[in-house]
Amino acid sequence: MRRAKPLSTDFYDRPTLDVTADLIGKVLVHHTRSGVAAGMIVEVEAYIGEDDPACHAAPGRTRRNEPLYGPPGVAYVYLNYGMHYLVNAVTEAKDAPAAVLIRALAPLDGISLMLKRRLRQGSGAQGRVKGTPIDEAALCRGPGNLTKALGITLKENRLDLTSSRLWIEDRGLEPGRLSWGARIGITRGADRPWRCWSKGHASVSGRRA
């Protein structure tokens, strides 16, 4: 397992769409008692400001979305529809609410651990039945699946991505050609082309072409 230093706060303290593009090819790592699990980021989505109807900051500052208003480089983890935990990297300056949702990873480290965690879950994406085989490329395909595979829950909310057990690092991996398109899985603000992914990668959760 190759290790690198976590990305610095300066990486996140930039315009969100710049961070969005630069996150493709970086590696999300989570260190737990069970072991280390990591994957290369291949799909992300940007959510920017109170004028973005799909951003959690749209209603203004609340107890739930407080991390979005905090310093850049912090993890914002929330429970989506009472079912799946989703993990975001907070971007831009303090009090400028924005973040990048991590949508999919290509598994790198701790693949057997990821598999165990996924198989312990109930029915998942595409109606997968508990206990059935999971293709390696699908282990972290989708924002809810990747948090299950990496063991990310609300306990990781507000962690500093530059100095905690959850971090993002640069291993010098080549992500391939990037594609941009509309965000998916939302009903508001779906017209904004703020989803970015590694074109044609098997682990991407949405449209890959």
Tens digit of pLDDT for each residue in 63-113? 999 999 999 999 999 999 778 999 999 999 999 999 999 999 999 999 999
Query: 195, 44 in Cβ contact below 8 A?
Result: yes
pLDDT greater than 80 at residue 45: yes
pLDDT at 125: 47
Mean pLDDT of 18-26: 98
Mean pLDDT of 30-46: 98
Average per-residue pLDDT for the chain = 92
In angstroms, rounded to a whole number, what is the distance separating the alpha carbons of residues 105 and 41? Answer: 4
- Per the rule left: phi > 0, alpha: psi between -120 and 50, beta: everything else, 25 is left
In angstroms, rounded to a whole number, what is the distance separating the alpha carbons of residues 58 and 47? Answer: 10
In angstroms, rounded to a whole number, what is the distance separating the alpha carbons of residues 77 and 150? Answer: 13
CA distances from 121 to 37, 71, 131, 193 (A): 17, 33, 8, 32
At 140, is the secondary structure helix, strand, or coil? coil
Mean pLDDT of 164-184: 96
Percent of the chain residues past pLDDT 70, beyond the cut = 91
Structure tokens at 129: 């039945």
Mean pLDDT of 9-17: 98
Percent of the chain residues past pLDDT 90, beyond the cut = 84
Query: 137, 203 in Cβ contact below 8 A?
Result: yes
pLDDT at 129: 53
Q: Can you give the pTM of this predicted structure?
A: 0.93
pLDDT greater than 70 at residue 123: no
pLDDT greater than 60 at residue 43: yes
Q: Can you point out the beta strands (E) in 35-177? A: 35-48, 75-80, 84-90, 98-109, 166-169
Q: Can you point out the beta strands (E) in 51-206? A: 75-80, 84-90, 98-109, 166-169, 178-181, 195-198
pLDDT greater than 70 at residue 114: yes
Each residue's pLDDT tens digit, 127-167: 455 556 799 999 999 999 999 999 999 999 999 999 999 99
